[in-house]
Each structure stands twice: as structure tokens, then as C-alpha cells.
Chain A
Amino acid sequence: EPEVTQTPSHQVTQMGQEVILRCVPISNHLYFYWYRQILGQKVEFLVSFYNNEISEKSEIFDDQFSVERPDGSNFTLKIRSTKLEDSAMYFCASSALDTPRGYGYTFGSGTRLTVV
């Protein structure tokens, strides 16, 4: 069964450093998403991406965040200057169609980001 893969599974970084989280969505999917879960809190939406551009972003997704689909297969989330409060599990997800009515998301297994 096709999977969404994320790398690395765990990343530790110094505060103020840049990190790039990588995702390979399912190949025939068109819609891509990043969600995160801070320990003990709810899963939160960050950004959705379709047709090579951001279709929606949340308040969390400020100027420190960016997404890219550089080569038609990878989908990356960059945090320019990490803060302690960016520590969370970051999930990539993809879907074949616009998600709401038809299908659920296919999630990756997540990258645990720890900012020290």
C-alpha cells in the first residue's frame, strides 16, 4: 500500500538554527499538507499546498515557515530560525482529491523536532 514517507524521524536542533523537514507524498496525490502536534496538545493545521502554491495557511505558519515542492516528488517544510516552542511532532499528509468530502488524509509517520 502506498505510503507517505518523512525524514528524519527525529531531529534535534539548536534554537535559531534552520531546519528542513522532508516528505515524499504518494505519487498520484495532488494536495499536500503539514500538521503538527505539540506534546500533550491537539493536532494543528499548518499549511496546505496545491498546484505548486500554498492554498491555505494557519496563524502558526508565519514568516519563519516556508514550504516547497522542489522536484515533483519531495515536499519540504523549512523553519528558518527555530524557537523552543517549535518543538513538536510534524506530520506531512497528502490526498488525491480535495479532502473534505471524499477521502481522509494519508499521513506520514512524522518527524519529531526538538529545539534546544
Chain B
Amino acid sequence: ILNVEQSPQSLHVQEGDSTNFTCSFPSSNFYALHWYRWETAKSPEALFVMTLNGDEKKKGRISATLNTKEGYSYLYIKGSQPEDSATYLCAFKGDNYGQNFVFGPGTRLSVLP
């Protein structure tokens, strides 16, 4: 059974703090990893598509890194703002695991003003 995990499950930070969380996935047969931000009552929004070991992607204050050899990706948020409050999902695809993505359970981030 393919397992994708995220930690921590939830996180509370103060406005202005920087934070990071982890997505872990099988280290064999990597094909692609997606990060999504999911705000309450809205649809999940694609943040990053990561395909190569060592990839680093950046979008404003949010960035992500990828280590396919050890099976993890980090998502970083610099200077958290209340509007960053959301659940952050990662989704993994390995070569031999069908055509579609396996999602992690998400990290719920709350940024307190």
C-alpha cells in the first residue's frame, strides 16, 4: 500500500513567523509531487509541481524543496500572514502506482494575528 504522510498534522504560528512542514513519500519510483493549498470552503489550489530531485520552487513567500532519494519534500512559508491559514496537501505519483496521485493527510496551518 502506497503511503504518503505529512507532518505536523496541525500547526499554530504567530503572524510574521516563518514555518515549514514535511511531506514524506516512498523513495523508490518517484515521478512527480504536487503541493496544494486548501482554504476552508474553497477548492484546493495548486501551488507547486515538482519533478526532479533537488527541485526548489518559489511563489512569493512560499517555497518548496524536493529530495526524491530520501523521500521527502519541505514546504516553507516566510513571514506567515493570517491569509496563509489553510490546509496544505501534498500529492505523490510514483511510476508504478497507476495514473493518478496519492494524497497525504494534509497539514492544517493557523496563523494568529
Interface residues of A (CB under 8 A from B): 3-4, 33, 35, 41-45, 48, 55-56, 91, 99-110
Question: Judging by beta carbons under 8 Å apart, are B43 and A101 in contact?
Answer: no
A residues within 8 A CB of B101? 45, 99-100, 105
- Chain B residues with CB under 8 Å of chain A are 4, 31-32, 34, 36, 41-49, 51, 89, 91, 93, 98-106
Residue of B nearest to A33 (CB): B100
Residue pair A45, B36 in contact (C-beta under 8 Å): no
Residues of A within 8 A of B105 (CB): 41-42
24 contacts between A and B (CB under 8 A): A35-B103, A41-B105, A43-B44, A45-B100, A45-B101, A45-B102, A48-B100, A55-B99, A56-B99, A56-B100, A91-B43, A99-B101, A100-B101, A101-B31, A102-B49, A103-B46, A103-B49, A104-B34, A104-B46, A104-B48, A104-B49, A105-B101, A107-B45, A109-B43
